[in-house]
Structure formats: C-alpha cells, structure tokens
C-alpha cells in the first residue's frame, strides 16, 4: 500500500502548481479531475497520490479542481464537465503524473486558497456544483485551520483512506493530514482484507469512514486486528445502533466521532462518549457555527470561509441562503429538531413521502427499522397509490421475520408512517460516500427481492 508523506506530496503539489501556472491557468479557472479507475492496484495507488498532490497544488494558486466520480455514466460525467466548463481535463493516470513530475516548482501558501468543486447528488433536477470561489489568506487559514484543530491533527498522524477521493469527505481528511505534516496511506480502492492488513502493519492513527466500511471490516471477525486509531470519524449515512456499539467496542467510544455535513457545508460533530446520552442525535453545532430550525428545516450560520454558491445557478443559491439579523444562514433542505442543542435529523425534504395528505420522512422510519435486531440496512421510499397518492414502502437487508417486524413497529410508528410493504433484499444501492440511492431502490426491489410482505 502506497504511503504518501507530507514532504513528497508538497513537492509534487509545487510541481503541479508550476505546470498549471506556466500553462496559463488563472485564479478561478477550473480543472477537471476525471481519470478512469485503474484495475491494477499499484497504478490505482499512484493515481490517488497524484490526485491529492494536484488538488493541493491547484487550490494553492486559486485554480479549482472539479472532482468527477469515475462511477458516473458517460452522460452524467459529460454533464459535470460541460456544466463546470474546465480549462483543462485530466483523464488518465499518465496525465496526472505529468503534472506531479514537472521539473518546475511554484511556492505554496500555508493553506490552499479554496476547496474543490463537487457536484451534489441531484435528487431533484440536474446535479449542481458547489462553488466556494477563491479565498483570502485569512479565510483559507480559517477554513483549513478550523478542521485541523477540530480533529487535533498533527505531523505524527497517519491516515488510511477508505473512500474514493472524488468525494469530499475522503479528499478533505487526507488533505488535513498532509497539511499538518502527516502521512496518508493510499489503497487504490477499498478492500476489507487489504485495509485490515494495513491496520495491522501500518498502524494508522486516523481514518474517515462511512458505516458500510466498518461493517465490512467487522465482518472479518478474527481477521480484523485491534484498532490502532486515536481518531475514527464516520459520516455519510445513518449508522445503525448495533453497528455504532460494535464500532465503539472495537475502537473505543472516546476515539470515535460522528459528524453531520454535506457537500455544501459542515453542521455538527459529536464524540462517541456523548452518543449514549443522545443516541439519535448527530451532535451539537461545530465551533463558529449556529443552528436554527425554521419551519422544520435545518439552517446553519457558518463562518465566512464556509460560504458557497451553486455554480451558475443563482436561483438555487438564493433558495439556499437567507439573512437573519445581518447574518447569513444556509440550508440543504434537511429536516430536523434541536433538543438541548443536540441536532436530530428527521429526513430530507426531497425524500418526503406524502400519503393521504400526511408527511412521512424516510429517515425517521429508517431509524426505527434499524433498531430491530437483524436489520443491517434499510431504505424507505414512496410508491404511487391510487387511493392514498403514495404508499410508504421499505426495503431491508437482514435475516428477519416480517410478521414479527410489523408487530414490533406498531407501537413505535403511527399507522400512516408504518410501511405498507416491506421487502427483504440482498443489498441496497449506495453512493461511494455511503448515502442510499433512494431513487434506485424500487428497481432494486423489483430485481432482487429475497422475501416480502
């Protein structure tokens, strides 16, 4: 597994910055990072190293990398590249390494002067790029320094990458460690057995994961060594209570953190030691942020460095922001509630199921389903219904008795919230960042139902 030191990444970032500068790219220009996945592991590891170095170098001179998920279809990929209008697209590992091996060197500021552009999932309409512009030096220090301080990252840290660098979480956490002077372990792609070997042999101190990563590692049983982590951060999707407890047993609750955030911005963070007292919460507002619930919707007031807009979509940008008492607040449409400052997620407005005139939020129902013994994953969605407009349906992964589950649900969910159909499937579709591809669930149910009622 390739180990990228901060010194080597910095040197390659300076080379990439020099290449981009000499090519004529200017502040605010975009460069598409869109290499195809490498099947050879050694090449895949080198590709990840080049991506990290180029992102660091580009952001340092105000050039914005547009991260293109290699899992996209050609049509989806073309939309991202056509919409972002990059001055340059890097599509192969060789093209990436041409920048990182450039003989020139361009000096880097203490912190990158922006963040990469990622496209939102597009649950409604076409995906939109999240654009932060080019920051001042003070704003850049605020953006990156806040994260490094929050997670206590130092030059002694070694982070093991689990997710694809085209996604914001894995990319950001790897950059935090490099900026602090630490090392990054690059596997090319996630593989539970290889990651377990790296945990045993390389002894990483930090990692960012989504729950499915840990689930697959824990399934190794005796093949998973004792945790070496001082900090294990998870986000991206709901974590079933039974899995949360297993993570705490393996790594120690005091070393496990969860945060709630999005491509647009970060909202909360919570240590595992707080979870027992607030088991359905995602934590309190992070430093320099405030939270409000307005008409059931979560709004956040971030520091100036956290401001963003949707690329070339002023209407969507205007809908995401409002000014209250001279302060800017943004929302991504998620619904929730605050209890003694702790945020509880009730669902996404775009996922809303309206049945018989009643609103049902899938995340709430999924949270209850995941409490039932034997359920490993769950997705709730609406299907057309002649009588009710929509009916609530659920797809679950696990070995459960549906009759017993229905009986267990009755005292826990109002009648209109209880799924009228429950299907047991062998697996649910997720993005690489761990979020359920809810719009794909009905097709999955039709193709791979194991049992239903």
The CATH number of the domain holding residue 426 is 3.30.300.30
Q: Which pLDDT does position 121 carry in this prediction?
A: 55
- Beta strand segments in 325-374, E: 327-330, 334-339, 342-348, 353-355, 358-360
User: Based on the number of CB atoms within 10 Å of its own CB, is 323 exposed (0-12), middle (13-18) or buried (19 or more)?
Assistant: exposed
Q: Is 321 a residue whose pLDDT tops 80? A: yes
Tally of domains in the chain: 1
Q: What percent of the chain has pLDDT over 90?
A: 77
Residue 367 domain-assigned? yes
- pLDDT of the residue at 123: 40
Residue 325: other Cβ atoms inside 10 A: 6
Q: Is residue 424 part of a domain?
A: yes
Domain span at 398: 352-452
Q: Tell me: the pLDDT tens digits for 415-451?
A: 889 999 999 999 999 876 677 888 889 999 998 765 5
pTM score:
0.83
CB atoms within 10 A of CB 347: 23
From CA 238, how far away is CA 415, in angstroms rounded?
Answer: 23
Answer whether residue 103 is part of any domain: no
Q: Is residue 415 part of a domain?
A: yes
Nearest to 113 by CA among 68, 57, 155, 66: 57
Pick the most confident of 1-5, 280-284, 368-372.
Answer: 1-5
DSSP string over 381-416 = EEEEETTTEEEEEEEEEES--HHHHHHHHTTTS-TT
Task: Please give the backbone phi and psi of residue 110, each rounded to the nearest 5 degrees, phi first.
Answer: -55, -35
pLDDT in tens, 39-77: 999 999 999 999 999 999 999 999 999 999 888 878 788
At 316 the three-state DSSP class reads helix
Q: Does 439 map to a domain? A: yes
Instruction: For residue range 324-345, list pLDDT tens digits in order.
Output: 989 999 999 989 999 999 999 9
Give the confidence band of 124 by pLDDT, cuts at 50, 70, 90.
very low
Q: Is residue 361 part of a domain?
A: yes
Return the minimum-mean-pLDDT range out of 133-147, 394-408, 430-444. Answer: 430-444
Structure tokens at 256: 């496990």
pLDDT value of residue 127: 81
Mean pLDDT of the region 279-304: 94
Q: How many Å apart are CA 302 and CA 307, to the nearest integer?
A: 7
CA angle 373, 378, 380 (to 5 degrees): 130
Residue whose entry in the numeric block shows the structure tokens 């099947």: 39
Is residue 358 situated within a structural domain? Answer: yes
Residue 92 located in a structural domain: no
């Amino acid at each position: 597994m390739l180990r990228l030191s901060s010194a080597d990444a910095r040197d390659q970032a300076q080379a990439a910055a020099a290449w981009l500068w000499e090519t004529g790219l200017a502040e605010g220009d975009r460069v598409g990072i869109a290499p195809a996945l490498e099947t050879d592991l050694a090449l895949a590891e080198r590709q990840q190293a080049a991506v990290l170095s180029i992102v660091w170098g580009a952001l340092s001179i105000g050039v914005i990398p547009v991260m293109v998920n290699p899992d996209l279809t050609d049509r989806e990929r073309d939309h991202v590249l056509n919409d972002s209008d990059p001055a340059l697209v890097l599509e192969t590992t060789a093209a990436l390494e041409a920048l990182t091996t450039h003989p020139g060197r361009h000096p880097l500021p203490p912190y990158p002067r922006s963040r990469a552009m990622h496209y939102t999932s597009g649950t409604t309409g076409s995906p939109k790029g999240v654009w932060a512009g080019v920051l001042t030096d003070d704003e850049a220090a605020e953006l990156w320094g806040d994260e490094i301080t929050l997670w206590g990252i130092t030059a002694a840290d070694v982070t093991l990458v689990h997710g694809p660098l085209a996604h914001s979480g894995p990319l950001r956490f790897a950059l935090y460690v490099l900026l602090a002077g630490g090392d990054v372990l690059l596997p090319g792609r996630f593989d539970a057995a290889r990651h377990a070997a790296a945990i045993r042999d390389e002894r990483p101190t930090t990692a960012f994961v989504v729950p499915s990563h840990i689930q697959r590692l824990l399934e190794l049983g005796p093949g998973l060594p004792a945790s070496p982590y001082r900090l294990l951060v998870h986000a991206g999707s709901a974590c079933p209570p039974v899995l949360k407890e297993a993570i705490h047993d393996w790594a120690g609750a005091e070393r496990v953190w969860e945060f709630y955030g999005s491509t647009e911005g970060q909202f909360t963070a919570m240590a595992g030691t707080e979870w027992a007292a607030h088991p359905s919460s995602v934590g309190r507002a992070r430093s320099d942020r405030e939270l409000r619930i307005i008409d059931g919707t979560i709004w956040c007031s971030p520091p100036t460095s956290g401001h963003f807009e949707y690329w070339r979509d002023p209407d969507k940008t205007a809908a995401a922001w409002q000014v209250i008492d001279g302060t800017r607040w943004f929302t991504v449409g998620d619904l929730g509630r605050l209890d003694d400052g702790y945020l509880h997620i009730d669902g996404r407005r775009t996922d809303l199921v309206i049945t018989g005139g009643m609103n049902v939020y899938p995340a709430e129902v999924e949270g209850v389903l995941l409490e039932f013994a034997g359920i490993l994953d769950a997705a709730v969605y609406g299907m057309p219904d002649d009588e009710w407009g929509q009916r609530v349906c659920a797809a679950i992964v696990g070995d459960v008795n549906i009759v017993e589950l229905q009986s267990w649900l009755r005292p826990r969910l109002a009648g209109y919230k209880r799924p009228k159909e429950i299907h047991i499937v062998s697996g649910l579709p997720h993005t690489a960042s761990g979020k359920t591809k809810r719009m794909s669930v009905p097709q999955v149910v039709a193709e791979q139902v194991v049992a239903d009622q």
